Amino acid sequence: MQKGNWGLVKMIPDTDGEFMAPFGTANTIIRGKRICVTITGVGKNSNVPMEVRQALIRLPLDAVFTEQQVISGCGPDARDLLPEGCLLAYADEVISLLQSANLYYEAALLKGVLPNEWDMYVIEAGTFQLVPDKVEPRNPSGK
C-alpha cells in the first residue's frame, strides 16, 4: 500500500496492476491503473498556465485514470466534465515531476492552480504518447 501526505491510503493495489485510488477527494475511490506516457503536445486547458503545459512536453509521467475509468467509477455525468480520450494524473505527482526536472517556477504555477493532494491534472487526447509496457512506471512523488 502506498500512502499520501495525510497517512491515508493513496492506492490499494490489485493483482492485475490495477488499484483502487481516490479520485478528487479521499471519499471517492475508483479503479485505476498507472499508464506511462510522454507528453508530446500542448493541451488546450486554459485553467493550467501555458508555461506549465509547454514545460511538460517531452517529460514522462504516469496517468492513473482513463476517461472511461472515471465514468465507470463516478457515473455517466462525469462524461460531460472530461475531454474525450483524456487521461488523468495526480497533480501532486505532476508537480513533483516538474520539480525533479528543475522546473520550479512551472511547478509553483501548477501548485497555485491545483493545490490539493487529490486534485487531478487532465492529459488531453492528442497531447501524449504511450510509453511501451517494458518501461516501468515512474512515480516521482514516491506515492
- Radius of gyration for the chain, computed over Cα atoms and rounded to the nearest angstrom: 14
d(CA 46, CA 138): 26
pTM over 0.75: yes
User: For residue range 28-61, what is the model confidence (pLDDT) as tens digits?
Assistant: 889 999 899 999 999 999 999 999 999 999 999 9
For residue 92, the surrounding DSSP H or E stretch is: helix 91-100
Residue 136 predicted with pLDDT over 70: no
Name residue 129's beta-bridge partners: 38
d(CA 53, CA 110): 9
Nearest to 70 by CA among 88, 43, 56: 88
